[in-house]
Amino acid sequence: MSWGMIKRDPRISINTLISIVDDDESVREALEALMDSFGFRVHAFQSAMDFLSSADIGNTSCMIADVHMPHMSGVELYRRLAELGHAIPTILITAYPDDSVRDRALADGIVACLIKPFDDDALIGCVHAALQRRYPGESPC
């Protein structure tokens, strides 16, 4: 991931929590650093089960989750959260694109599905779109 021309948005609230769920430690750390550089509060989890057992579910404004993880995929995590009444705007990331999985996920309400490696600008654009879904009609930043 490049840090390129992206700059921190000074309007972002320090209370905006981005949760990252990915079994790949290097991806978690890179995404955590990127989101932190934009002023977001960030919590990272190595599995869907870790996130589901955390106290962060109700406070998460946007979730970035890997599609392919052991025991529960990012899509399954999104659906489980929706069943529990926590329809968190979610961005899926994957190194193994599958059009049918992407199409079903988008139909279920996923904000975006990005293919690794993805451009930082694309991810930040998706995060802002997710926050607009979370806080329609008001500035989430």
H or E element in which residue 94 lies: strand 90-94
| Annotated domain spans of the chain | 17-134
| DSSP string for 26-86 | HHHHHHHHHHHHTT-EEEEESSHHHHHTSS-GGGEEEEEEES--SSS-HHHHHHHHHHTT-
pLDDT tens, 37-89? 988 999 999 999 999 999 999 999 999 999 999 999 999 999 999 999 999 99
pLDDT tens, 75-122? 999 999 999 999 999 999 999 999 999 999 999 999 999 999 999 999
Q: What CATH class is the domain 17-134?
A: alpha beta
3-state secondary structure of 19: strand
